[in-house]
Structure 1
Amino acid sequence: MSEIDRAALIGALPYARRFARALTGSQAEGDGLVGQALRAGVPTIDGTRDGPLVARTALYAAICRMAGEAPEASSPGIARTGRMLLLLTSLEELDTHHAALVLGLPVEDAARHIEAARSHLRAGAVARVLIIEDEPIIALDLQQLVEAAGHEVVGIASTEDEAVAIAEAERPSLVLADVNLGAGGDGTSAVARILKHHQAPVIFVTAYPERLLTGQDLEPAFIITKPFEPTTLAIATYQAVSRGVHLDTV
């Protein structure tokens, strides 16, 4: 196997950061895991069919190897392999073939892990969710998806000020925020104001995830790219509520 060239790795970094942050539930731990993977070297994976995916799948595989070195907690829920596969196929939108290559599994085994993990999603902890979204139809769609995943929506805000007021009154255990609120302000600003007085995991929804994945500033651990499938929201919510896979070695 050969090493991935520098330009390709740089292009794959935003995707790697998104995956690692969602896996660990933390910007710091996720970015640290990416750094470890880069320092250890990122060889290509035999069997990758899609040229643009070569660097991404190689980085995902390096991250998974690093994450797999930490002992896994014996708590109920989705096992680490299942979480990795759900994130790879839903958040990162890999097909089962490429996800299996990342973890070095036969496709049939990967498919079984994915099915078992999906069956556990609704058994996860129930969250009290604040939705920040200025488009009424999209907000209602999000509410339906959140409730279908077994969670409670405590409020829907279309502006920064409304979001802060609802968060203060309801104390949500999870915030689902659009980045662009149009005339109502900015979703990231709303979240920053909320987190000054109330700590809760946040999932950002944006059509431009790379803008939030530079690794230079305080950035979110969970980012969903528009448009997304219901399973993507379900696994991101599960990871946020369960705070991801804790890695003692990071």
Structure 2
Amino acid sequence: MKNTKRAASLFLGSMLLFLGACQQIPKKEKPHEKPREKVEPPKQIISLEESKSLFDNYSRNRAGLIETYEKEHYPKEEFHVARFVSWDFDTIKQYIAFIEQEAKTAEVDISSLRFYFANYPDKNDFPDKDRIEHARQNSIFILPAMEVDGQDYGFYIGADGKAKLVKDAVGEQGIGNISDDREKSYAGFAPNLSTAPPIYAAQSLTLNRGNSAPPPPHDY
């Protein structure tokens, strides 16, 4: 009996010590997460009804003209008018991060993004030998712009690391035909004369080579 009482006392004491030790261990607190600020929709967001109307306007006023043109010039080929251009989301995020990085290095601010309408040539390959998947198909390319003297201009990064206006490189004189006294560098919106190498050594900020196609069966 004494042995039983002694064993019970030891067990009870051990349990009390164990519980006491557990209470002394500080609880790990979860790191405080700052609540994300709610993002309001841009005022340029349009309704599904309006987007459907815009899509139908293109079908009536543009797509038919393109199809007629293609049939007249290439009667033996089937041609479907492109209705959208897409890039995967990771590519768009990489592009935004890249142009922000280049603009920051050049000490300029991106004021807007321009989406230019474009048309692929009737060839099998681009100049860099990448394959043209949809010859003669419409496309778009994206160009960042910066503000200079109150106006937005598309820009690229020159070989000297400075921001330069696209209009000075591919304007009336044609690409690659600009003289040193016309090619200006822009940093902090202040133009400075530059003696940079030809623009072929520069860094373009223009995004293209997206996936263009007719609308998928379940859109519009």
Greater relative contact order structure (CA < 8 Å, 6+ sep)? 1
TM-score, structure 1 length as denominator?
Answer: 0.23
TM-score, structure 2 length as denominator?
Answer: 0.25
Mark the structure with the bigger radius of gyration.
2
Higher strand share: 2
